[in-house]
Structures are given as structure tokens and as C-alpha cells.
Amino acid sequence: MAKKAWTAFPYPDKAFDYAGAALAKAWPKLHAGDLEPFPDEAHVAALLEANPKLGKDVAAIANQLQDAWRAFHKGDFQKAYEAGIALKAIGASVAIKASGIHASHLLDDEAAKTARYEELMRLADEAVAALPGLANSHYRRAFAIGRLSQTISIAKALAQGLAGKVRESLDRTLELAPKHAEAATALGLYHAEIVGKVGGMLARLTYGANAADAEKNLKHALKLTPDSPIAWIEYGNGLQLLHGDSRDDEVAEAWDKAGKLKPRDAMEALDAAWAREQLE
């Protein structure tokens, strides 16, 4: 995958270049949704203490990991992915996020998307095994499985038992990080997609999914990250899954809010652009 150049990020912006100390300063807002810890030497040292097999040079790893995240926020997703992979489980979070966001927005071939998400699932499983105490080890696993489920159809994903794996990973994420907004959004969509596919009664009895929990989690994510385009986008998507076209005005309003937010990095720029396109 890394040998072939990836489709370039189409909205380059100097504002997304977090060189030097700018990354640490902007980090709390950039990662309000996923609560990724800032990859300074103290964080890396803790990871290496948890799993000494992952490396020895704390300073070098911290610098490499920060540069990988700089590449992600700037929109150089391939560079971020490759830098993350080179750091093994310590870099899995940035590698999975970079590759997954690129695939979601900039990869058109459905077979290639499926293969990408399958690879990210394997990477996520390795990260969970290596660093089970990290909330985002579990969240990236849920993210990869969830995106794979969407490429192969929700029906097939349910038949393969992927829904249970997503729920397991999201529950663990929220146990470790109760204010993880992206996990709350994903859990809301978990409920909404199953209810939308199999109906309320079967969703509740078979998968423990229901419309009330879908909206509760989606609204919770909005409360935690009101300036995040993806929180508004997925709120609209959730309403659509649950209610069809009966709440189209609210769906359009949510997407309109997403499209008007000022993006802080490449991912948010892609999300906001997607929202605007839906309303054209």
C-alpha cells in the first residue's frame, strides 16, 4: 500500500502546518474528539514502560511521533501512515487515523477501501494486544471495523459478527475515557445503523441497540465537541438512519453547521467539505 502514492489532500492550508511548538499549543483543540495524549517524552516513556518491546530511545520516538501527527494534521496522510507504522504499536493510532480518513474521503475504489480497512483492523488488533491500557488502541479498532462494515454492507457485517466487535471496543474505549467524543459518536451510530437495518425490536433483543441510546450518544458527542464537523455530520447521519426523511430539516441543519465550521486541520477540512457537498 505504501509503495503507491496516495491521492493528495485537495485543500492545503498553511493554517494546518503545526510546526515546532505550535503542535503542543493546538493539541487540546485538535484532539478534543479523540483525547489522544500529546506524544511528549513523558507519554512515550509510559508506553515503553508498559511494553518495553516497543523501543528504547524515548526522545527519538517522541519526535518521530509528533512529526507523524504534524503530517496528519497537514494532510500528508501517506507520510503520517508510514511514520506511524515505523513506530509499531506506539504509532498505530496515527497510522490508523491517517489511513482511515484518507480512505474515507479520498479513495474511490471500493475494493481498495475494503482492503485498506482490513489492513487497519489487523494493525488495530496488534495495538490492542501491545497497549491495552490506551483508550485509542480500542477506539481505532472500533473505527477500522466500523468503516469495514460500511464498505461490505451492514447486513453482511452483522452476519460476520463485526457489530459485536465494534460494540466491545467502543465500550472499552469509554470505560478508559468517558469523555471520548468520537467514541460516543461511533456508539450512537452503532445503535442507529442496526435499528435502521433490522428494526427496533430485533435491534434491541439481538444487539442491545435502540433509537434512544443512538440519539443520546450522538447528542453527548455534540455537547463535548460542538466545534467538530464530524460530530454534526454523524448526528445528521444518525437521524437519517433512525427516521428516514421525516426529519430532513434537522439533518440538513446539522450538515449546514458542519459545513460552516472553520476547520483546524486537514481532517476537519475534508469533513466540512463533505457536509457542504450534501447540501448542494
Burial class (CB in 10 A: 0-12, 13-18, 19+), 149: buried
**Mean per-residue pLDDT over the chain, rounded:** 94
> Each residue of 19-53: pLDDT tens digit?
999 999 999 999 999 999 999 999 999 999 999 99
Residue 261: C-alpha distances to residues 33, 105, 228 (Å): 15, 18, 8
What is the DSSP annotation of 141-209? HHHHHHHHHHHH-HHHHHHTTHHHHHHHHHHHHHHH-TT-HHHHHHHHHHHHHHHHHH-HHHHHHHH--
Looking at the domain assignment, is residue 196 inside a domain?
yes
The per-residue pLDDT for range 154-180, each reduced to its tens digit, is 778 878 889 889 999 999 999 999 999
- In this model, does residue 72 exceed pLDDT 80? yes
Let me know if residue 128 belongs to a domain. no
Domain contains 253: yes
Q: Which of 79-83, 107-111, 253-257 has the lowest mean pLDDT?
A: 107-111
The model's confidence at residue 3, banded by pLDDT at 50, 70 and 90, is: low
Q: Is 234 inside any structural domain? A: yes
What is the extent of the structural domain holding 257? 191-280
CATH of the domain at 202: 1.25.40
Confidence of residue 200 (pLDDT cuts 50, 70, 90): confident
Please report whether residue 28 resides in a domain.
Answer: no
- For residue 226, being part of any structural domain is answered with yes
In-domain check, residue 208: yes
What pLDDT score was predicted for residue 203?
80
Torsion sign across C-alpha atoms 123, 127, 128, 129: positive
pLDDT band at residue 1, thresholds of 50, 70 and 90? Answer: very low
pLDDT in tens, 129-154: 999 999 999 999 999 999 998 888 77
- What b/e string do you get for 212-237 counting C-beta neighbours within 10 Å, with b at 16 or more? ebbbebbebbbebbeebbbbbbbbbb
Domain total in the chain: 1
In a domain, 83, yes or no: no
